[in-house]
Chain A
Amino acid sequence: MTGAQAALDRVTRVPGVRGALVASAGDGLVVAEQLMDGVDGRAAAALAGSLVGRLVRTADGAGRRPPAFVQLRAERGSILAAPCPNDLVLIAVVGPDANVGLARLEMLDAAGRLD
């Protein structure tokens, strides 16, 4: 099993996580994915990757270090993202009842191991 697949395994085991993927932050290409039916991995990768890139520039503009974790919360769930080394980003799509705290811990840990 690759490092990316192992990371996705851990994240998708968290209750409420509908899917997770590793994508290239620069161009949004999917490197590895584990998604439930109905979750569009390519859309998630492209849109979340672009948003994270913008937020990294925002933090930089404010004179702060780049974000280690991002949560985009919506009415029926959230998109979670953890930038990784090598210009990768770990993304998870979660439902409204997901254990976001646990997903965050797993993602931060997994993101640190991805290189």
Chain B
Amino acid sequence: MTEDIRALTTRLAEEPGSLAFLELAEALRRRGQLDAAGKVARGGLSKYPGLAGAHDLMARILSDQGDLAGAFDAWADALRIDPMRTGALKGIAFLYFRAGDAAAAIEHLQRAAEADPDDESIAQALAKVRRESRSFSQRSVEPEPEPRPEPQPQPRPEAESRAEPIAPADPGSPFADMDGGRSLVLVDANGLRLAGSLPAPSGEETGDRVAAQLAGVSREAARATRLLGLGTWQSITLESSDGHFVLVRPTGETVLLAAREQSLPMARVVLLAERAARAARQWLEQVR
């Protein structure tokens, strides 16, 4: 243990109600001790849930741990408290860029630049995103066989799916605060729908029919990846000309299907599915 971490640990032990947790968690994060950093940050957040810096710190730790959906939520929490917090704006911009949504990344970086015009790293990030999005657009024009989708309004990070009509929420559903669970279906190993709904474009409810098709998909995917030496399966994405689907497994016995219109980038549907999977896990623990 380095001197600074030892000193900060001692300080936090002596003054558990202080803000020393911010420095200690950040020092641990920088040393790569992410589990310990997460524990300290969560402890601090429980005492200071209204502190934007604590949510920002939690997001950085989750991002380093590879939990991008969790990092997105934590940065969104930071922005709800402090809408001009540059760290959170840069973090969300990074996630949007990684998800292939350069327009949303640029929007967040521009807000960050307005909040802190002296931060050169923001200008550099903006230039990089603009350069790479232009280069990507040029590369992808030729092989794209389908008409480009109509431009969609940019969703705000704290309300991912507001662009589409909101169904009445079922308060008993794990997805009650996610469009009421519309186009999210949680399925058990027997192909029975546990929660959510999946309306077809015609409006017909298809959740039970789709759930039945998904019986055994997890086992089949697991067999395929194991035999090919690829390890445990994590997600399945399907692109069709009228929809994007993402399958994840919240637990070993369940799968979750998220469906969205084709105009929503696949990477964003993946983030949505990961968020829904976390909600489903918590809900399953309560139900059991």
Interface positions of A (Cβ within 8 A of B) = 38-40, 43-44, 47-48, 50-51, 54-55, 57-59, 61-79, 93, 105, 108-109, 112
User: Residue on A with the closest CB to B248?
Assistant: A73
Chain B 193-225 near chain A by CB (<8 Å), digits 1 or 0: 000001011101010011011101100110111
Which residues, 226 to 251 on B, are CB-close (under 8 Å) to A? 227-243, 245
**28 residue pairs from A and B, CB less than 8 Å apart:** A39-B228, A40-B227, A43-B228, A44-B228, A50-B220, A51-B220, A54-B213, A54-B216, A54-B217, A58-B210, A58-B217, A59-B240, A62-B206, A62-B259, A63-B206, A64-B201, A64-B259, A65-B241, A68-B239, A68-B241, A69-B239, A71-B235, A73-B234, A74-B233, A93-B230, A105-B143, A108-B145, A109-B143
The reply on B140 being an interface residue by CB < 8 A is yes
Q: Flag if A73 contacts B224 (CB, 8 Å).
A: no
Chain B, residue nearest A38 (CB): B229
- A79 CA / B143 CA spacing, docked (Å): 22
Nearest 6 CB-CB pairings of A with B: A63-B200, A75-B231, A47-B224, A74-B230, A74-B225, A67-B238
Contact B231 A74 (CB under 8 A): yes
Whole-angstrom distance between the Cβ of B212 and the nearest chain A Cβ: 8
Given contact pairs A48-B224, A74-B231, enumerate 8 new A-B contacts (beta carbons under 8 Å).
A40-B227, A54-B220, A64-B240, A64-B242, A70-B237, A71-B237, A73-B234, A112-B145
